[in-house]
Amino acid sequence: MKKSVIISALTIAGLTAGAALAGTMDDVKARGKLNCGVTTGLVGFASPDANGEWEGFDVGVCRAVAAAVLGDASAVEFVPTTGKTRFTALASGEIDMLARNTTWTFSRDVDLKFEFTGVNYYDGQGFMVPKDLGVGSASDLDGATVCIQTGTTTELNLADFFRSNNISYEPVPIETNSEAMQQYLAGACDVYTTDASGLAASRATFEDPDAHVVLPEIISKEPLGPLVRHGDNNWGDVVRWTLNALITAEELGVTSANIGEMSNGTNNPEINRLLGTEGTLGEMLGLDAEWAKRAISVGGNYGELFEANIGVNTPIGIARGLNSQWTDGGLIYSPPFR
């Protein structure tokens, strides 16, 4: 009799423990580490360096969130995910946020029940071909063999593009970017297609980058950004406004060089609110006042992160283009810190 009471009590306790959903932020703070889902290896966005330390544009966003919430930019567990595993990892709770150059689409937002916390890179899908193929435009690709990563919006866009132009192609499905490059360089496919930023990042790692050309057509919109699960609005706010803090810092001229003196107080009230010397913005998020200062101090503001990882002075060599601040004619625009 006693045993059955104990067992049923345990069962009920187990069920109710599951019912009391702790917020993700509390989980992260209790764990002391942020679980961040990244790609398996895309130079410039997320790849481990020679010492095993992750670096890249998406990695920078994750470290900024970790610094804002936990105070330590290195308290991040990077979980490499493939195109197939990234959404189940996020939905199941294995990772707290996914910063994996993922395109913000209707079905992912609505049907898969995720919340996109902003766009950190406005991209589009392009094609890369070897120069000696003699092709100058994507509409000349009738009958070509195309290497395509499965489970991405790229795949669907590719099918739509060829269908609407009444030309046909032969898809070669691959799982990861590195596999794609290997097949493309060996000649198993004539064309490699992915986001233009991914094409630039891959081409930078080739032995002879000039023997490959990216075709001029951009056939889709690919707004890439970090995402979190539905159901935890506070955590979504934290991630969203950390990204916005990086963007606003560049807009207002706060850099990693001058952030120290700016946090003593400036003439610009918005900088003061951002860095916590005025107002209670941090408290509204459930963090302390210096959350944005810590986030910006990790890798600098948005522009500095961009230049350091994928800018024109890196082997990847992407110009700001659409990803300039709105004041420079680009699309990077953060709501005001007020």
Partner 1 sequence: MTMQTETAAGNFRLSMLISDTRYRSYTFQLVAMVLLFGSVGYLISNLIFNLETAGLSISYEFLGEPAGYDINQRLIEYNSQSSHWRASVVGVLNTLLVAVVGCFFATIFGVIAGVLRLSNNWIVAKIMAGYVEIFRNVPVLIWILIINAIFLVSLPQPKAFKSRGGNPPEAEMFLDAFAFTGRGIYMPKPVLQGGGLLVVGVFFLSIVAMFLYRRHARNLLYSQGKDLPTFWPSVGILFAPAILLYALMAFTSELPIVLEYPALKGFNFKGGIWARGSFVALTFALAIYTGAFIAENVRAGILAISKGQTEAAASLGIRPNRIMSLVILPQALRVIIPPMISNYLNLTKNSSLAIAVGYMDITGTLGGITLNQTGRAIEAILLLMAFYLLISLSISAIMNVYNKSVAIKER
Q: Which residues contribute to the site for partner 1 (CB under 8 A)?
A: 11, 15, 18-19, 21, 83-84, 87-88, 91, 107-108, 111-113, 141-145, 150-152, 155-156, 158-160, 163, 169-175, 183, 186-188, 190, 229-231
Tokens of 117: 């916390």
Residue 287: CA count within 13 A, CB half-sphere: 30
Question: What is the crossing angle of helices 291-299 and 233-252, to 10°?
Answer: 60
CB of 12 to partner 1, least distance (A): 12
Nearer to partner 1, 167 or 331 (CB): 167
> In whole angstroms, what separates CA 101 from the centre of its chain?
4
Comparing CB distances to partner 1, the nearer of 83 and 300 is 83
Minimum CB distance to partner 1 smaller for 112 or for 213: 112
Query: Cβ of residue 188: shortest distance to partner 1, in angstroms?
Result: 6
Distances (CA, A) of 291 to 26, 40, 66: 16, 29, 10
Q: How far is the CB of 54 from partner 1 (least distance, A)?
A: 23
SS3 state of residue 260: helix
Provide the edge-to-edge strand list for the sheet that holds 125-130.
169-174, 144-149, 191-195, 125-130, 212-214
Question: 153 or 248: whose CB is closer to partner 1?
Answer: 153
Question: Nearest approach, Cβ of 254 to partner 1 (angstroms)?
Answer: 38
Minimum CB distance to partner 1, residue 335 (Å): 27
Please report which residue ranges of the chain form alpha helices under DSSP H: 2-19, 24-31, 57-70, 86-92, 106-110, 153-164, 177-186, 196-204, 233-252, 259-262, 269-275, 281-285, 291-299, 302-309
Minimal distance in Å, beta carbon 56 to partner 1?
23
- Return the number of the residue (49 or 160) whose C-beta is nearest partner 1: 160
Cβ 211 to partner 1 shortest distance, Å: 14
Task: For partner 1, give the closer residue by CB, 72 or 175.
Answer: 175
Question: Do 304 and 255 form a contact (C-beta atoms < 8 A)?
Answer: yes
131 vs 269, beta carbon nearer partner 1: 131
Instruction: Quote the least distance from Cβ 159 to partner 1, whole Å.
Output: 4
Q: Which residues pair with 144 in a beta bridge?
A: 169
Question: What is the DSSP pairing of strand 34-39 with strand 125-130?
Answer: unpaired
Closest C-alpha among 81, 229, 253 to residue 151: 81
| Nearer CB in complex with partner 1: 131/230 | 230
Question: What is the separation of C-alpha 322 from the centre of its chain, rounded to a whole number of angstroms?
Answer: 16
3-class DSSP state for residue 336? Answer: coil
